[in-house]
């Protein structure tokens, strides 16, 4: 028996002709199963990818809110990331709830060393659906400084966009302008989500460097079962990129997946209920 270190991720491609689609998710856990790591795993699996995780925090959470957060040590977060990348590898990395500056710094340093060429989708999770903070105020600057410049895609909602731009409100500004300003912070692309906007039409904007911005419009679904939509969209997007889809195609598929998941929501809980992440999976015969 030896202590030889496994080959780096890039030398460990999927075996047996397996398709690409390995997504490493670095995020917090949601005990209610609607958001966070649980939603991420369900989404990637439902879209045909392979989900792996590095958990950054545990939450005591349900559809009514977040009742407690237990932090994972930065060192153990790094050990989870290295264990996955050293053996299985990844085709895309999705970042969700990172919570504290120390976690952000550790994740950034570990990925720079262990996966410098793997595309990263950054979902800047800041506030839970029920309004509870999931990102310490001191961590916003670390997120802006360390992770936005290495993001292949940044996926903020309107309140997150305002925080990243150090503003109070972003709902009154044209989304194309907001996306362009976020792009100037360093990411290669920005998918600005318009779910927190007003009116019957939801507008998302995709902005890329040296490309005109694209608008994606859809009728707003009247539903309280929208817990985890941001996590789900970012993971669906990451899965598409991991599977080799062009960015625009991955965005279109991710938006369609989330919309169908809202429409098919199971109706659980007394608050902001979860989505139907498994709507792409055919029921077992007779089930």
| DSSP one-letter string for 74-120 | HHHHHHHHHHHHHHT--SEEEE----SHHHHHHHHHHHHHH-TTS-E
193 as an active site residue: the answer is yes
Q: Are strands 201-208 and 189-192 parallel, antiparallel or unpaired?
A: antiparallel
* pLDDT for residue 147: 95
* pLDDT for residue 99: 85
229 as an active site residue: the answer is yes
Given a cut of 60, is residue 96 above it in pLDDT?
yes
Catalytic residue among 228, 232, 239, 273: 228
| DSSP 8-state symbol, 228 | T
Average pLDDT of 125-137? 63
* pLDDT for residue 199: 73
Catalytic residue among 226, 232, 240, 273: 226
Given a cut of 80, is residue 94 above it in pLDDT?
yes
> 102-113, pLDDT tens digit by residue?
999 999 999 999
Q: Above pLDDT 90, what percent of the chain?
A: 70
* pLDDT for residue 137: 73
Burial of 49 (0-12, 13-18, 19+ CB in 10 A): buried
* pLDDT for residue 144: 92
Give the Å distances, CA to CA, from 35 to 83, 96, 169, 185.
24, 10, 24, 27
Rg (CA), the chain: 18
For residues 209 and 189, is the Cβ–Cβ distance under 8 A?
yes
For residues 228 and 125, is the Cβ–Cβ distance under 8 A?
no
Q: Give the helix/strand (H/E) hosting 28.
A: strand 22-30
Catalytic residue among 34, 230, 240, 273: 230
Given a cut of 70, is residue 2 above it in pLDDT?
no
Confidence band of 133 (pLDDT split at 50, 70, 90) = low
* pLDDT for residue 129: 53
Handedness of CA 85, 127, 191, 186 (dihedral sign): negative
* pLDDT for residue 15: 47
* pLDDT for residue 210: 87
* pLDDT for residue 233: 97
Average pLDDT of 151-167? 92
230 as an active site residue: the answer is yes
28 as an active site residue: the answer is no
* pLDDT for residue 192: 96
Average pLDDT of 272-284? 84
Contacts of 67 (CB under 8 A, 6+ apart): 60, 61
> 190-207, pLDDT tens digit by residue?
999 987 666 788 899 999
Confidence band of 8 (pLDDT split at 50, 70, 90) = very low
* pLDDT for residue 67: 93
> 208-241, pLDDT tens digit by residue?
998 899 999 989 898 999 999 999 999 999 999 9
Given a cut of 80, is residue 168 above it in pLDDT?
no
Catalytic residue among 49, 59, 106, 231: 231
Counting DSSP H helices and E strands in the chain, the numbers are 8, 9
Catalytic residue among 229, 232, 239, 240: 229
For residues 92 and 121, is the Cβ–Cβ distance under 8 A?
yes
> 10-59, pLDDT tens digit by residue?
434 444 444 579 999 999 999 999 999 999 999 999 999 999 999 999 99
Going across the sheet that includes 189-192, the strands are 65-71, 50-62, 22-30, 92-95, 120-122, 153-154, 189-192, 201-208, 214-219
Catalytic residue among 49, 96, 193, 194: 193
């Amino acid at each position: 028996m030896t202590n030889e270190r496994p080959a780096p991720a890039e030398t460990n491609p999927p075996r047996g002709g397996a398709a690409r689609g390995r997504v490493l998710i670095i995020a917090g856990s949601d005990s209610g199963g609607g958001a966070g790591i649980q939603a991420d795993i369900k989404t990637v699996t439902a879209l045909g990818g392979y989900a792996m995780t590095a958990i950054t925090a545990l939450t005591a959470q349900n559809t009514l809110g977040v009742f407690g957060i237990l932090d994972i040590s930065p060192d153990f977060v790094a050990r989870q990331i290295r264990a996955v990348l050293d053996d299985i590898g990844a085709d895309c990395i999705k970042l969700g709830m990172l919570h504290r500056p120390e976690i952000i710094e550790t994740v950034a340093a570990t990925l720079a060393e262990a996966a410098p060429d793997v595309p990263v989708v950054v979902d800047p999770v800041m506030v839970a659906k029920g309004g509870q903070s999931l990102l310490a105020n001191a961590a916003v600057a670390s997120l802006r400084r360390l992770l936005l410049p290495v993001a292949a895609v940044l996926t903020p909602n309107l309140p997150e966009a305002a925080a990243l731009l150090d503003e109070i409100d972003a709902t009154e500004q044209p989304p194309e302008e907001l996306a362009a300003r976020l792009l100037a912070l360093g990411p290669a692309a920005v998918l600005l989500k318009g779910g927190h906007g007003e009116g019957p039409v939801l507008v998302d904007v995709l902005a890329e460097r040296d490309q005109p911005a694209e608008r994606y419009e859809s009728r707003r679904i009247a539903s309280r079962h929208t817990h985890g939509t941001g996590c789900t969209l970012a993971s669906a997007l990451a899965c598409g990129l991991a599977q080799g889809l062009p960015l625009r195609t991955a965005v279109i598929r991710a938006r369609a997946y989330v919309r169908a998941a809202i429409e098919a929501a199971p109706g659980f809980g007394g608050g902001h209920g979860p989505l139907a992440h498994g709507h792409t999976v055919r029921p077992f015969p007779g089930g």
